[in-house]
Amino acid sequence: MVSGSAIGTLVVFILSIICVIYPFSFPILLPYLGRKRIHINLTTAPIIAILVLWAAQCLGPGEIRDGIVGTDGVKPYNILILFFSLAYMAITLDITGVLQAAAFWVSNKGGSNGWKLFLYFYIMLTVLSVFLGNDPVIVSGTAFLVYYTKVNELNPIAWLMSEFAAANTASMVLFVGNPTNVVICEGFRVNNAAFTAYTILPFLACSVACFIALGAQFHKSKYLPRKLDVSDDLDVRSVLLDPVGAWVGSVLLGTCLVVIIVVSFFHVDVWKISLPFAVAKFFYDFAWDHYRFVNKISTGGVREKKSDEDIAISAEDDVVLQQLKRHRTNTVRVEEPEPNHTASAPKSAIQTRSNTRSNTQNTAQTTTPLRQPTKADAFSFLTRPYIALQTHKHRFAVHFPTFYTAFPRLPFALIPFAFSQFILIEGLAHQGWIEIFARWLVIATDRKMYPTIWLVGVLGVLLCNLSGTNIGATILLTKVVRAASASAPAGTDVTAFDRAAAIALAVASNIGAVSFTFSASLAGLLWRQILNQKGIFIKQRTFAWWNILPLGVMTAVGLAVVCAEMAILY
């Protein structure tokens, strides 16, 4: 019988997922600080759920510890250290301008042929995402395509949706391409090199099928014009603003990936490999920035904040815009995003605003009228330390721009969310839900290979939308499949069952991001945030509508290829 605490645990888990998919906020009045908003979202909802369950004694310190340290071979800290190490190396490589340079090169190859350019961009984004992961490609690729479509007066939806689909589909190739891949490798004890061998064919099939589906639904000229109005080639070197950093970053990242795959045969935790490479890149970035600062070498490729209140258009984005404007046969005036967006106004405007603000502050200091003391005056002693802190912050940004730019782009929201998901699912296991779900899976599939592939694959795609993100869906299904294997009668060979479920889940957790909700992956939330900052707002309904066909085709084709692979191997 299911106990009341078990039902309560499941209800709280579902409510936390709803808050992740549909975040909200409400105002609260705090003493001295005034009215503030409390946000219930991806970061806070799972933590609140854990606190509620802990207070209700539905889970205890043991489940919290297991959610951090890990069970059944899955180590959450291993996954996060690996992911952040590779993310830092990929982001700092992107800062050199290498991704923008690749986009310029592809644009030159495509010329004025709209369909050829669409194909070339799709291939470029796919290849880059295989090695760099989807997040860095989405950050740079989205910004570039926004500018490119604005300058060339194109409908951006086809280009942006294809970029999102290409980047997320390609992340299934390497086990380090997505945190869900690492969960699968550790949970099912799949060798890292073997993972790529299993997923390369489903990836190729999904990628080709996805492009065909995208071409079919965007075939009208209002989405993809046959001919673009362009003239001269773009200057590729103009956006490759740190060639030395690009070479060093590429060599370090490539070497790290190769070493990780090699040592996977010796059962070494991957974070012990990725972390030293990331630390080496960290020290190189500081040394190289210091060398360029001392020798007054330009660091124009770094997105540097000119002040705390104004977010400047980056030098790299400025170069991109100027090059794209010259790329047009008939030059048109392009509106940059408003000052409250990420890529804002030209430098001169920012400097004018900064000078005006400084003059206003100086005037205020000399002509401040007499007024009655307020509660805010209680914190006036913090003004001088705050100004000193901002001064040191600006000096640090000028001296070490690479780290200053890369650090805010690291996916810190993943830390509390991933640990919270592991803890909540440990809570479900403690209350017996994992065993119940495993029993249902056995009844539905009878541990047969082909039913398992289709059921786990389709469930994986659906749960990417219904379990908060693809991370939560992967953790949950990994636990369920492992429990179903453990409950098999003695002497039963469940190798094919396990392996079929693992590869089907690997395909589903990656293509599941190309789905109906932005929160199906952290990449989706990042993609929407960048577009909003650039002044492009895509509704949830629009996002789901354009993803239905590619997702359906990729699910059918990808799982069919997995069936063919398993038929040959087992």
* CB-based contacts of 253, cutoff 8 Å, min separation 6: 86, 89, 90, 93, 131, 132, 277
The reply to whether 443 and 521 lie within a common domain is: yes
Number of domains in the chain: 2
pLDDT > 70? residue 317: no
| Within-domain flag for 558 | yes
Residue pair 56/5 in contact (Cβ under 8 Å)? The answer is yes
Which pLDDT belongs to residue 21? 84
Residue pair 455/441 in contact (Cβ under 8 Å)? The answer is yes
Which pLDDT belongs to residue 227? 85
The reply to whether 33 and 126 lie within a common domain is: no
Of 25-34, 49-58, 509-518, 535-544, the one with minimum mean pLDDT is 25-34
341 — pLDDT class (breaks 50, 70, 90):
very low
Instruction: Please state, rounded to an integer, the average pLDDT across all residues of the chain.
Output: 81
| Within-domain flag for 383 | no
Domain that holds residue 14: 1-59
The reply to whether 39 and 108 lie within a common domain is: no
The reply to whether 121 and 31 lie within a common domain is: no
Tokens standing for residue 475: 């953790």
Instruction: Look at residues 1, 2, 6 and name the one whose alpha carbon lies nearest to residue 57.
Output: 6
pLDDT > 50? residue 350: no
The reply to whether 425 and 565 lie within a common domain is: yes
For residue 361, the SS3 value is helix
pLDDT > 60? residue 98: yes
* Rg for the chain, CA atoms, rounded: 25
Instruction: Look at residues 517, 423, 402 and name the one whose alpha carbon lies nearest to residue 95.
Output: 402
| Within-domain flag for 544 | yes
Of 127-136, 372-381, 468-477, the one with minimum mean pLDDT is 372-381
Tokens standing for residue 45: 């909802």
Tell me the per-residue pLDDT of 223-282, one tens digit each, with 9 for 90 and over: 888 887 766 677 788 888 888 999 999 999 999 988 988 887 777 888 888 899 999 999
Residue pair 524/164 in contact (Cβ under 8 Å)? The answer is yes
| Within-domain flag for 11 | yes
The reply to whether 126 and 211 lie within a common domain is: yes
The residue that leads in pLDDT, 47 or 375, is: 47
| Top-confidence range, 345-349, 432-436, 535-539 | 432-436
318 — pLDDT class (breaks 50, 70, 90):
low
Residue pair 27/400 in contact (Cβ under 8 Å)? The answer is no
| Within-domain flag for 41 | yes
The reply to whether 109 and 54 lie within a common domain is: no
Which pLDDT belongs to residue 369? 44
Which pLDDT belongs to residue 548? 93
The reply to whether 36 and 121 lie within a common domain is: no
SS3 string, 489-552, reads: CCCCCCHHHHHHHHHHHHHHHHHCCCCCCHHHCHHHHHHHHHHHHCCCCCCHHHHHHHHHHHHH
413 — pLDDT class (breaks 50, 70, 90):
confident
The reply to whether 457 and 557 lie within a common domain is: yes
The reply to whether 429 and 512 lie within a common domain is: yes
Rounded to two decimals, the pTM is 0.79
| Within-domain flag for 469 | yes
Which pLDDT belongs to residue 325? 63
| Within-domain flag for 243 | no
| Within-domain flag for 16 | yes
Tokens standing for residue 108: 């030159």
The residue count of the chain comes to 570
Tell me the per-residue pLDDT of 363-380, one tens digit each, with 9 for 90 and over: 333 334 444 444 444 445
The reply to whether 423 and 506 lie within a common domain is: yes
The reply to whether 34 and 120 lie within a common domain is: no
**Residues 488, 493, 496, 498, CA torsion sign:** positive
